[in-house]
Amino acid sequence: MSQLRSRAWEIGLSLAILGVLVATPPTTAADPASKYFYDDKGQIVREEVDSTGSGRTDTWITYKDGKPVLQAVDTGKHGKPDTWYHLTPDGQVARAEKDQNLDGKPDVWTIYEKEVPVKAEQDLDFDGKPDRYIYFEKGKPVRAEESVKRDGKITLWLYYDEAGVLIRDEEDTKGIGRATVFSYYQDGKLIRREEDTKGTGRVDRWSYYDKEERLIRREVSRSGSGRPDVWAHFENGKIVKQEEDLLGRGRPNVTYFFQAGALGRREEDTQGVGRVDLIEWYEDGKPVKRQQDSRQQGKIDVVSYLRQGQIERQEVDTKYEGRYDLVRFYTNDRLVKEEYDTNGDGRPDIWAYYDEKGDKVLQEEDTEYDGKVHVRFRFEGGRVVSKEVVSARKSDGPPRLLTPKSW
Ligand SMILES: [Ca+2]
Ligand SMILES: [Ca+2]
Ligand SMILES: [Ca+2]
């Protein structure tokens, strides 16, 4: 963006200079003092003018057949001319040349018709060849073309309003012979940019800017359908929210929330029914907590705690009563242990243990709800292979069922 902005600024500068070229007719100001030079026939050939009475020549006029044909002007007290006006026999400006970098060679060329500029060429890298062409109507620029790479190949097209203010430009950023970036301006400032980032001929990114040209919203079509499926929102140049349509329904079902530019929370409506059923909390770019409404009934019933992106503990409200009665423990993302409070007294009374393959190997039960293990079942290949009664009044049942462990 800064590149284009600086380009807009360059245009502003050059237009201001062209404005000076237009506005400064070859006449002299107050207290002019002229020295005239003649040939041996007594005809005037040259005039040196100190137009401000400063004691220094700032305008050099060349005459031919008694008429001025070239006026060279020092517009900035450089001691040498930096602007040249070529005059018609009736004294009108036909062409003007300007040396912006003061290397003695012109780098802006302007053609006039009836004292009004119609076309200008500008050499932006001062290699003697023009890189920008500006077209005027009624003395105001209406259109410009530019070789962004300064290699003579036109890749930027600029358009101006009636006041000569930039309203739109189009740039071929991929060198494919057609524009891929379209920028729109208001009061000379960038307000919207559309981009064909893949060069397919279809816009897939839209950016919107505030009055300070700061990005406020960006929409992206990841699917390439031409319709946005990602919407990012910015404040003070920083992202605050990003919405995504993962289900292809034309409306977002995932929202990312940022604080100070860092992701803090992600909300997802996994079924696209208009209700969030998955919330993830982030720290340092990694999820640390995940809340799920696994039954799609508007209430969180599974909470997972993560470290370094891996799940460490999961709490489940198996009865959907607003109480987490099942706790799962993980090591290296693998379930190793479950604790289940079946009677709602706040203390676990079933403990299950799992091996590397995810198979249950042991289940212990506190059948008396006194905090002690009373029955112990051992498993192999998902089947009970032994039962050990530690001490129990009712000890004749099978292992009690835990909720399915797959969430
Ligand atoms: Ca120059
Ligand atoms: Ca050049
Ligand atoms: Ca209990």
pLDDT tens digits for 277-320?
999 999 999 999 999 999 998 999 999 999 998 999 999 999 88
CA dihedral 121, 96, 113, 159 (to 10 degrees): 30
E strand or H helix at 355, and its extent? Answer: none
For ligand 3, the distance from its centroid to the CA atom of residue 315, given in whole angstroms, is 15
For ligand 1, the distance from its centroid to the CA atom of residue 257, given in whole angstroms, is 52
* Measured distance CA(123)–CA(127) in Å, rounded: 7
For ligand 3, the distance from its centroid to the CA atom of residue 296, given in whole angstroms, is 27
Cβ-contact 373, 387 below 8 angstroms: no
For ligand 3, the distance from its centroid to the CA atom of residue 346, given in whole angstroms, is 6
pLDDT, tens digit, 9 for 90 and up, residues 54-80: 889 999 999 999 999 999 999 988 889
For ligand 3, the distance from its centroid to the CA atom of residue 345, given in whole angstroms, is 5
- Please tell me the number of the ligand nearest to residue 344's CA: 3
For ligand 1, the distance from its centroid to the CA atom of residue 21, given in whole angstroms, is 16
For ligand 2, the distance from its centroid to the CA atom of residue 177, given in whole angstroms, is 20
Look at residue 234 in the predicted model and tell me its pLDDT: 97
- Please tell me the number of the ligand nearest to residue 84's CA: 1
pLDDT, tens digit, 9 for 90 and up, residues 333-381: 999 999 999 999 999 999 999 999 999 999 999 999 999 999 999 999 8
For ligand 1, the distance from its centroid to the CA atom of residue 128, given in whole angstroms, is 8
For ligand 2, the distance from its centroid to the CA atom of residue 174, given in whole angstroms, is 21
Distances in Å between the alpha carbon of 328 and those of 53, 184, 335? 93, 55, 7
For ligand 2, the distance from its centroid to the CA atom of residue 196, given in whole angstroms, is 28
Average pLDDT over every residue of 11-15: 41
pLDDT, tens digit, 9 for 90 and up, residues 245-266: 999 999 999 999 999 999 999 9
For ligand 2, the distance from its centroid to the CA atom of residue 11, given in whole angstroms, is 15
Global confidence as pTM: 0.73
Answer whether residue 12 shows pLDDT above 50. no
pLDDT, tens digit, 9 for 90 and up, residues 392-407: 666 667 787 766 544 4
Q: Where do the domains of the chain lie?
A: 1-126, 327-407
Q: Which amino acid is at 204?
A: D
- Residue 53: pLDDT band (50, 70, 90) is confident
Average pLDDT over every residue of 127-135: 96
* Measured distance CA(46)–CA(49) in Å, rounded: 10
Contacts of 337-340 spanning 24+ positions with Cβ under 8 A: 338/402, 338/405, 340/402
Distances in Å between the alpha carbon of 396 and those of 348, 367, 375, 376, 403? 21, 11, 10, 12, 21
Answer whether residue 32 shows pLDDT above 80. no
Q: Which residue has the higher pLDDT, 13 or 311?
A: 311
- Please tell me the number of the ligand nearest to residue 128's CA: 2
3-state secondary structure of 211: coil
Q: Tokens for 50?
A: 């100190």
- Please tell me the number of the ligand nearest to residue 323's CA: 3
Q: Which amino acid is at 147?
A: S
Q: What is the DSSP letter of 40?
A: T
**DSSP string covering 121-135:** EE-SSSSSS--EEEE
Cβ-contact 253, 238 below 8 angstroms: no
- Residue 6: pLDDT band (50, 70, 90) is very low
Q: Which residue has the higher pLDDT, 219 or 14?
A: 219
How does the average pLDDT of the chain come out, rounded? 89
Number of neighbouring beta carbons within 10 Å of residue 371: 10
Collect residues with CB below 5 Å from ion ligand 3.
341, 343, 345, 347, 349
For ligand 1, the distance from its centroid to the CA atom of residue 76, given in whole angstroms, is 14
- Please tell me the number of the ligand nearest to residue 123's CA: 2
For ligand 2, the distance from its centroid to the CA atom of residue 132, given in whole angstroms, is 8
Collect residues with CB below 5 Å from ion ligand 2.
123, 125, 127, 129, 131
What are residue 280's phi and psi, to 5 degrees?
Answer: -120, 140
3-state secondary structure of 21: helix
For ligand 2, the distance from its centroid to the CA atom of residue 124, given in whole angstroms, is 5
Maximum CA pair distance of the chain? 139
**DSSP string covering 3-20:** HHHHHHHHHHHHHHHHHH
Strand partners, 333: none
- Please tell me the number of the ligand nearest to residue 121's CA: 2
Look at residue 394 in the predicted model and tell me its pLDDT: 64
- Please tell me the number of the ligand nearest to residue 342's CA: 3
